[in-house]
């Protein structure tokens, strides 16, 4: 028997204040965007801090939260190249990145511990009503239900405390 009487209802992913955290790269692969641009897609896991204080004063577990993000090479400006360079430096990888070489991506990025800014982007959940109109999803108290997406911000540097072998990543 599983007793759920003492389990608080989850409101989804917690809102995290913009801050630098220790992160491990779980996967790195090339994908192509809907606009046919090459992307480096990363799956990341927050390693530290273990917990943080939420805006309401409660303590939330942060370590273990994972998220995906992409660096999209659209050619409009240098921002994606700057992001990639910061990642390369933090991971101590070769400056010549071959997105088509899965082995290179694995050996260069997967399992690496880095320090980087993590940003939260709140995204209200929506539904289509009977008339075909998009409307926000409301909880039982009438408040909009929001899903928090995390984004990789500025990469600061390496954090070897959390680096593990690429083969050890599950």
The DSSP secondary structure of 14-44, one letter per residue, reads PP--SEEEEEEEEEEEEEE-TTS-EEEEEEE
Look at the block and give the residue holding tokens 């692969």: 29
What confidence tens digit (pLDDT) does each residue in 145-157 have? 888 999 999 999 9
**CB contact set of 37 (below 8 Å; sequence gap of 6+):** 72, 73, 74, 75
What is the overall mean pLDDT for the chain? Answer: 92
> d(Cα 144, Cα 139) in Å, to the nearest integer?
6
Residue with tokens 């933090």: 90
The pLDDT tens digits of the residues spanning 19-35 come to: 999 999 999 999 999 99
100: left (phi over 0), alpha (psi -120 to 50) or beta: alpha
Confidence of residue 8 (pLDDT cuts 50, 70, 90): low
What does the domain layout of the chain look like in residue ranges? 19-164
pTM of the predicted model as reported, rounded to 2 decimal places:
0.85
At 95-145, the pLDDT tens digits run 999 999 999 999 999 999 999 999 999 998 999 988 999 988 988 888 888
* Confidence grade of residue 2 (pLDDT, cut at 50, 70, 90): confident
The three-class DSSP label of residue 82 is: helix
Q: How many whole angstroms separate alpha carbon 86 and alpha carbon 74?
A: 18
């Amino acid at each position: 028997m599983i007793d759920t009487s003492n389990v608080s209802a989850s409101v989804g992913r917690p809102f995290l204040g913009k801050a630098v955290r220790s992160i491990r790269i779980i996967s790195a692969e090339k994908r192509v965007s809907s606009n046919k641009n090459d992307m480096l897609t990363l799956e990341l896991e927050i390693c530290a801090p273990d917990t943080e204080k939420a805006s309401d004063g409660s303590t939330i577990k942060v370590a273990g939260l994972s998220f995906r993000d992409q660096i999209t090479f659209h050619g409009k400006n240098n921002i994606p190249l700057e992001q990639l360079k910061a990642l390369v430096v933090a991971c101590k990888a070769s400056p010549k990145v071959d997105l088509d070489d899965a082995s290179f991506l694995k050996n260069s990025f997967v399992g690496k511990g880095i320090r980087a800014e993590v940003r939260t982007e709140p995204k209200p959940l929506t539904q289509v009503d009977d008339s075909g109109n998009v409307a926000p999803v409301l909880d039982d108290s009438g408040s909009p239900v929001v899903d928090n997406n995390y984004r990789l911000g500025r990469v600061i540097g390496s954090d070897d405390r959390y680096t593990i072998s690429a083969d050890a990543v599950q």
